[in-house]
Chains A and B, each alone.
Chain A
Amino acid sequence: MSFFNVKALAVATATSAAALFSTAAHAVEIEYWQYFFDARVQAMETLIGNFQEANPDITVKMTHFPYADYRTKVAAAIPAGEGPDVVQLFYGWLNDYVAADLIQPLPADVFPASKIDEEFFPMVQAMKDGDAYWALPTAVRSLALFYNERLLEEAGVEPPTTMDEMIAAAKAMTKRDGAGNLTQVGMTAGMTAQDHHWWREGLIRQFGGEPYVDDYQTVNYNSDAGLEALNFYASLFSGDDAVSAIGFMDEPQAAFKAGRAGMHIDGSFRIGSLNNTRGLKWGVTELPATADGTRSNYSSYWVNAITTKAEGEKYDAAVKFMEYVTSDEAMQVWLDVVGELPAKPSVGLTDANSNDPVFGPFIKGLAYANTTKFANESGQRQLMVEMVERMTLQGMSAEESLAIAAEAEQKILDEYYNSASN
């Protein structure tokens, strides 16, 4: 190699290095955290790809953790200045995150409260504090009634629209062996799955009650409506003509997937795993209405927020990223990939989406859905599980068991709101 070539090479190396450094100086890398759920990670990868294409000077690095470790890691990382710039959290955790100074409000010029109030489904307003929103969802979830098409056909019944029809259909699909053991249930039951939401925000309201008052700080279901709702629910799995059994095939979704359950109430997030179940032909319809047509549903959602760690150019990049993940385009991607419903009626209630045979029933459910504000979701669910167990295992009356559950839940709420106000 001649001297000139070496020199040329050196110059070339120096320029390309300079070019590298200059892009590095402009590029901002922000970090995004969510918990691990295959479809959500895939959807976010698509969104990040689209976002980076539109904003070549920003890179987004996604990190995900198993759900069980999520909160611990976030709590440890952000105060140490390590963790994410944009973080995903469950709507029920917002108070804790705000109190711990982990997240900052979204800038009012980019996310004006009045515009968000208008554009998003009303339950999102739980994320608002005065004139500012703390966090926004890409997608929301609601419940619907899944049914096994083959079993319905075999029993000669139609997908039910009212509770009476649902019970009749369930009876037609229930099978027992010679000894009277259930071998196929008309519908699944179990407070451990989504039934506690159906009972709280669905059945109680449909029977004319209101499960909580004072912004979910006071339990209000120890009432006639609550009792009627509990009796209706318990009738599914008690008595000789029960159409269900608690713990049948270990868990409700397993029984439905195995084709041993005619109907199953579950969230929109179940769609993906049912689609992957070979040999299962299923359909879905809105949660059953009462005879007079009253409907009620439960919805929940995960939100994204900007953490207190994001400052300067990272903050600006984080705002841009938040803008994108709450855009109409992002919501459609999330619906197509994850099966979770768009958080804006303008995207969700398009004709194509609300008439979709799979997503339609969930999207229609959003119109009459309520969002429970939990203090400790698993603790509060456990009380519903035990309310039913006291009746099935210890023969306690519904009145007594309901009263115990209401008192215990009030205690959880009191402890949570009293210590939060300190």
Chain B
Amino acid sequence: MYRNLTIRQKQIVWAWAFLAIPILFYSVIRFYPTGNAILISFQDWNLLGDRTWTGFDNYQKLFGDPVFWKVFKNTFVYLLIGTPLSLIISFVIAYHLDQVRFMHGFLRMLYFLPFMTSAVAMAWVWRWFYQPVPVGLFNNALAGIGIPQFPFLQSTTWALPSVLAPAVWAGLGFQVIIFMAGLRAIPRSYYEAARIDGVSWWTVLWEITLPLLKPTIVFIVVFSSIGFLRIFDHVFNMTTNNPGGPLNSTKPLVLMIYETAFSAFDMGYAAAQTVVLFLVLLVVSLIQLRILRDS
């Protein structure tokens, strides 16, 4: 039968034969669990007993839960502060690093190093930095020059920025590298033409560099947004004794899902939260792609 096919048809058969492996992988590892999670979100299940059908109960409970709305807000605060901040800092660093020749490789390595460090180790080190006197580095320094202690992780206002800072720092290295690659890809001739025309530095940046960096910016924005929406390891490790505390002020959605599933063993409720997170990620990514797409 195979012999009777045209060359074109044979090519298609082979393409599907090769595609079958990733398709199988995705259906078993990705799509089946995703579908199952959506199913569980309509059920009551404590991981040990039978699953019972409860309709929209989990979603009703979710939308009436003040902790969920607090956590929902926190997740967006991580996103709305984290993404623009890391974007601006990494662009500024990349822009200047691109023009530095002296010890260029070494400097680039220094910026990239935090990205390679384990998030858990980094979170613990920062957790110790933030401690009150007598152990915390920052507070000891403040106390040493006679300034009152600052309640980094022990304040409902400052805990979230304190957790976010190392998370932004950790992601910088990667974004700097991507930005530098983007900058190198802009043809030199545009800059030479601009210089001949005597255009100002600002105009070069605004009219040449940034527009041509757009694909790079889209990539970084989408990538880092998804990262901040899914933030977990920094928060969990910096607040393990009181996860997401104090008073849920640092708790992101993923941490709430983790706690609902693996300390309260309320799998249905956790699955409902997961479905909400999935929809948020989907909507945010679609909006960003649409806004930042080349018009």
Q: A250-B128, A382-B242 are in contact. Are A393 and B262 (CB under 8 A)?
A: no
CB contact list, A145-189 vs B, under 8 A: 177, 179, 181-183
Knowing A75-B47, A75-B48 touch, does A376 contact B132 (C-beta < 8 A)?
A: no
Residues of A within 8 A of B146 (CB): 179
Bound: A202/B215 CA distance, A: 63
Q: Which residues in B have their C-beta under 8 angstroms from that of A245?
A: 132
- Chain B residues in 8 Å Cβ range of A249: 131, 134-135
**Distance between B9 CB and nearest chain A CB, rounded to angstroms:** 44
A389: CB under 8 A from chain B? yes
Q: Does B154 contact A (CB under 8 A)?
A: yes
Nearest CB of A to B160, in Å? 14
B263 touches A72 (CB 8 A): no
Task: List the one stretch of A92-100, A115-123, A128-136, A265-273 in contact with chain B.
Answer: A92-100
User: In the complex the two chains form, is A99's CB within 8 Å of B247's CB?
Assistant: no
Residues B128-158 near A (CB distance < 8 A): 128, 131-135, 143, 146, 148-149, 153-156
**B144 shortest CB reach to chain A, Å:** 10
Binary A-proximity of B193-237 (CB < 8 A = 1, otherwise 0): 000000000000000000000000000000000000000000000
- Binary contact readout B231-249 vs A (1 if CB under 8 angstroms, 0 otherwise): 0000000000110011110
Is B49 touching A250 in the complex (CB atoms < 8 A)? no
Does B265 have its Cβ within 8 Å of any Cβ on chain A? yes
Residue B247 contacts which of A97, A190, A393 (CB distance < 8 angstroms)?
A: A393
B264 contact set on A, CB distance < 8 A: 376, 378-379
Q: Which 4 A-B pairs have the closest CB atoms?
A: A100-B48, A192-B241, A378-B263, A181-B133
Q: Establish whether residues B132 and A181, one from each chain, have CB atoms under 8 Å apart when the complex forms.
A: yes
Tell me the complex Cα distance, A393–B155, Å.
7
The interface residues of chain B lying within 8 Å CB-to-CB of A260 are 134
Given contacts A96-B48, A379-B263, contact A394 B247 (CB under 8 A): yes
Kindly provide the distance from the CB of B235 to the nearest chain A CB, expressed in whole angstroms.
Answer: 15
In B244-273, the 8 Å CB interface with A consists of 245-248, 259, 262-265
- Would you call A373 an interface residue if the criterion is a C-beta within 8 Å of the partner chain's C-beta atoms? no
- The 8 A CB mask of A356-386 against B (1 = contact, 0 = none) is 0000000000000000000010110010011
What total of chain A residues lie within 8 Å of the partner, measured CB to CB? Answer: 37
Residues of chain A whose beta carbon lies under 8 Å from any beta carbon of chain B: 68, 71-72, 75, 96-97, 99-100, 102, 177, 179, 181-183, 190, 192-193, 245-251, 260, 376, 378-379, 382, 385-386, 389-390, 393-394, 419, 422
Give every chain B residue within 8 A of A246 (Cβ-Cβ). 154
Specify the chain B residue showing the minimal Cβ separation from A386.
B247
B245 near A389 (CB under 8 angstroms)?
yes
Min CB–CB distance A256 → chain B (angstroms): 14
**Besides A245-B132, A394-B247, 19 other A-B contacts (C-beta < 8 A):** A71-B265, A72-B47, A72-B262, A177-B143, A179-B143, A182-B133, A183-B133, A190-B241, A192-B241, A193-B241, A246-B154, A247-B154, A249-B131, A249-B134, A249-B135, A250-B127, A250-B135, A389-B247, A390-B247
B-chain residues with CB within 8 Å of residue A71 when the two chains form the complex: 47-48, 265
Give the distance to chain B from A116, nearest Cβ to Cβ, in Å: 25
Q: Are A385 and B143 in contact (CB under 8 A)?
A: no
How far is the CB of A102 from the nearest CB of chain B, in Å? 6
How near does chain B come to A99, taking the closest CB pair, in angstroms?
A: 5
Residue of A96, A247, A250, A385 near B46 (CB, 8 A) is A96
Q: How far is the CA of A237 from the CA of B69 in the complex (A)?
A: 31
Residues of B within 8 A of A394 (CB): 156, 247
Chain A residues closer than 8 Å to B153, beta-carbon distance: 247
Taking a contact as CB atoms under 8 Å apart, the answer to whether B148 and A179 are in contact is: yes
- List the B residue with the shortest CB-CB distance to A249: B135
Chain A hits for B49, CB < 8 A: 96, 99-100
User: If A190-B241, A251-B241, A379-B264 touch, does A393 touch B156 (CB 8 Å cutoff)?
Assistant: yes
